[in-house]
Amino acid sequence: MAFYVVQFLTGLASAASLFLVASGLSIIFGVTRIVNFAHGAFYMLGAYVAFTLTERYSGALGFWGGIVAAALAVAVIGVLVEMLLLRRIYHAPELFQLLATFGLTLMVEDLVVLIWGPDDLVGRRAPGFKGAIDFFGQNIPSYDLFLIALGPIVLGILWLLFQRTRWGILVRAATQDRDMVAALGVNQKWLFTSVFALGVFLAALGGALQIPRDAVNHAMDLRIIVEVFVVVVIGGLGSIIGAFVAAVLVSELNAFGILIFPKISIILVFLVMAVVLIVRPWGLFGKPEAPARRTPGLTVNPWRPLTTNERFAALAALLVAAALPVLNNPYLLTVGSEIAIFVIFAASLHFLMSVGGLASFGHAAYFGLGSYGVALLATKAGLPMIVCLVLGPIVGLLGAAVFGFFAVQLSGVYFAMLTLAFAQIVWSIAFQWVSVTGGDNGILSVWPANWAAGPAHFYWLSLGIAALAVVILRIIVFSPFGFALRATRDSPLRSEAIGINSKRIQWTAFVIAGTVAGVAGALFAYLKGSVFPDNMGISLSVDALVMVLLGGVETVSGAVIGAIVYKALNIWLVSQTDLSKLVLGGFVVLIVVAFPKGIVGTLEALLHRRRKSASSSASPLLASRIESAE
């Protein structure tokens, strides 16, 4: 019995640190709607800075003072990030801020190694909390008890802050209805900055408090960020109590789950999240989100098919690309093949995100299913390459059909997180089912057949399929189905009122996107000659998101350019420097600031403006629009 009590308390201690970080993320998201990917980076910075301070200043004051000072210092960094970077892009398309914070995260991962060195750092134990307390023969670390107490205390302070102060009331109001706060004449800028600072402070505090029990290292951010997102979503976005309950739930399920299934930790949080989202689509304590109001006038120009001239230009560019083998550089051709494959992958996500308005955080699942499909068919069934290339993507299709059915019942961030959960579940199956998938050692020797084995041949194959995939997706965009899909994205209310079954349309789109991703995955398996769980990992899903956002989420085919730029740069940087993350992250941040609508989106806007000013007088429509924009 004593054991179960202690196990429960241990779970509570884990929950406390999770809660600190999660509450910060939840507050930031609730008010600013920023999916703050850098939250883990702030957590890690908190730990690093606290390590330095607590090593430098001795004694209890040095320790506790160091912890708090570290959290404050990182909060200041957070304020700078908010003011210098995020403020510029609040009006960018949804999720664009994710791109900025992703870039920051990449940079921080390399920076901490540059500043603090590569070794794991083990900090001091907390003065006064070094030992353990005997509980019927079981030991409970006193620091755990401290954390257990701290969780509810922080919860209480936050509750008071939100219930009893004017600032807190504003924050709550902003969480429920952002437009209203803007209308109330509140200085929204500073409200956002202060909220961001508080969120970052909590993350850094969570990180700093890990010093006595963890090793500070440059991978801490990734360890926590996904888990924290999951906790926030399970609890319900913007709900602090929800974050607390979800942190406890996840930690306790883990503490007791490993007694029965020792391998459960790897997948547990995602299973919980999938179940919660299917049963309660807005999390345990969340409220249904009011559909985002689109400010009239801020929308994009209607999409149109390419003109004849543009078609010729695209064809010419394709022909130029097809002539690449004349350079007779096999490495370049494999890189070209890889880029073409990522064009397919990014285009498939773009279809779901831009046309369908469904941002998937787990799109790699269908890429991975395609490549595992190919690998299993080729190695276990010994089927020829051409058959595998056709059948492999069907595995992606089937996966998308099953998961998509549940995912499209949700929308917005909840949709994103459910797709992430499904992707992680698929990933962990690939990771754990060693007898079939080879586990993390993957499946080897999936090399292409002779007709496609030469780098030039494989390049032409990839390029051809990429061009075909992009053209087909474009045709679908401008087909009645594509319009119906955009209709469900633009106005769920109106589309339902004109007889459109949104869920079925979105489900179909999900299946199309999953299948095309499967095509990319199938080709990728042959390009690399092997498949690994990485092929369906979070980082691949994030890469795809970044490509789409970089190209421009409001464009018809911006993902193509986004994929080419990001992938080429990534391959080149990894080859040239060990600090590829720092440079790539810096580049992403620069792009975000310079091209707030993505590369293609910004170029389009520039071109549009030039055309507009060329056609002289502003239209009377525009004038009346400004009047009615109130």
Partner 1 sequence: MRGYFVGAGLAIAVAAMASSAMTTPAMAQSGEIKIGEINSYSLLPAFTEPYRKGWQLAVEEVNAAGGIGGKKLVVVSKDDGGKPADAQTAANELVSSEKVAMLAGTFLSNIGLAVSDFANQKKVFFLAAEPLTDAITWSKGNRYTFRLRPSNYMQAAMLVEEAAKLPARRWATIAPNYEYGQSAVAVFKKLMSEKRPDIQWVDEQWPPQGKIDAGPVVQAVAAANPEAILNVTFGADLVKLVREGNTRGLFKDRKVVSFLTGEPEYLDPLKDETPEGWIVTGYPWYAIKTPEHDAFLKAYQAKYNDYPRLGSIVGYQTIKAAAAILAKANSTDPEKLITAAEGISMPSPFGEITFRKIDHQSTLGAFTGRTALKDGKGIMVDSAYRKGADYLPGDAEIEKMRPKD
Partner 2 sequence: MSMVPTLLSVESLTKSYGGVHAMRGVSFELRAGEILALIGPNGAGKSTCFNALNGQIIPDSGRVRLLGEEITGKKPRLIWRMGVGRTFQITATFPTMTVRENVQVALVSHGGELFNVWASTAKHARDEAGRLLDLVGMGAYAERPCGELAYGDLKRLELAIALANQPKLLLMDEPTAGMAPRERVELMRLTARIAREQAIGVLFTEHDMDVVFEHADRILVLNRGSLIAEGSPEEVRGNAQVRAIYLGEGLVYDARHREGASA
Cβ 459 vs Cβ 325: under 8 Å: yes
Residue 544 binds partner 1 (CB under 8 A) = no
Residue 560 binds partner 1 (CB under 8 A) = yes
Residue 183 binds partner 1 (CB under 8 A) = no
List the one residue from 180, 315, 574, 622 that touches partner 2 (CB under 8 A). 622
Taking the least distance from each CB to partner 1, the nearer of 4 and 190 is 4
Residue 55 binds partner 1 (CB under 8 A) = no
Cβ 44 vs Cβ 108: under 8 Å: yes
**Residues with Cβ within 8 Å of residue 4, at least 6 apart in sequence:** none
Residue 627, CA distances (Å) to 330, 609, 624 in order: 60, 21, 5
Residue 555 binds partner 1 (CB under 8 A) = yes
d(CA 424, CA 365): 8
Per CB under 8 A, which of residues 99..118 are in contact with partner 1? 110, 113, 118
Per CB under 8 A, which of residues 262..281 are in contact with partner 1? 262-263, 265-266
What six digits make up the tokens of 559? 């993902």
**Which among partner 2, partner 1, none contacts residue 478 (Cβ within 5 to 8 A by kind)?**
partner 2
Per CB under 8 A, which of residues 468..497 are in contact with partner 1? 470-471, 474
Taking the least distance from each CB to partner 2, the nearer of 382 and 627 is 627
For residue 495, how far is the Cα from the chain centroid? 28
Residue 497 binds partner 2 (CB under 8 A) = yes
Residue 219, CA distances (Å) to 119, 222, 617 in order: 11, 6, 56
| Beta carbon of residue 112, minimum distance to partner 1 (angstroms, whole number) | 10
Residue 574 binds partner 1 (CB under 8 A) = yes
Complete DSSP assignment for 386-404: HHHHHHHHHHHHHHHHHHH
Using the rule CB under 8 A, give the single segment among 107-115, 120-128, 297-305, 342-350 that binds partner 2. 297-305
DSSP 3-state of 120 = coil
Residue 397 binds partner 2 (CB under 8 A) = no
Using the rule CB under 8 A, give the single segment among 95-103, 260-268, 310-318, 500-508 that binds partner 2. 500-508
Taking the least distance from each CB to partner 2, the nearer of 214 and 490 is 490
**Which among partner 2, partner 1, none contacts residue 258 (Cβ within 5 to 8 A by kind)?**
partner 1
Cβ 172 vs Cβ 27: under 8 Å: no
Per CB under 8 A, which of residues 590..619 are in contact with partner 2? 619
Count of CB atoms within 10 A of residue 488's CB? Answer: 25
Residue 434 binds partner 1 (CB under 8 A) = yes
**DSSP class of residue 287?**
-
Which burial class, exposed, middle or buried, applies to 432 when counting CB atoms under 10 A from its CB (0-12, 13-18, 19+)?
A: middle
**Which among partner 2, partner 1, none contacts residue 530 (Cβ within 5 to 8 A by kind)?**
partner 1
List the one residue from 160, 317, 618, 622 that touches partner 1 (CB under 8 A). 317
Residue 479 binds partner 2 (CB under 8 A) = yes
Taking the least distance from each CB to partner 2, the nearer of 296 and 384 is 296
Residue 498 binds partner 2 (CB under 8 A) = yes
d(CA 230, CA 251): 12
What six digits make up the tokens of 523? 């080709």
Among 356, 165, 161, CA closest to 240: 161
List the one residue from 294, 609, 610, 612 that touches partner 2 (CB under 8 A). 294
**DSSP class of residue 556?**
S
Taking the least distance from each CB to partner 1, the nearer of 85 and 531 is 531
Cβ 216 vs Cβ 235: under 8 Å: no
| Beta carbon of residue 317, minimum distance to partner 1 (angstroms, whole number) | 3
Residue 289 binds partner 2 (CB under 8 A) = no
Residue 590, CA distances (Å) to 86, 166, 224, 479, 483 in order: 12, 36, 26, 36, 34
| Beta carbon of residue 609, minimum distance to partner 2 (angstroms, whole number) | 14
Residue 621 binds partner 2 (CB under 8 A) = yes
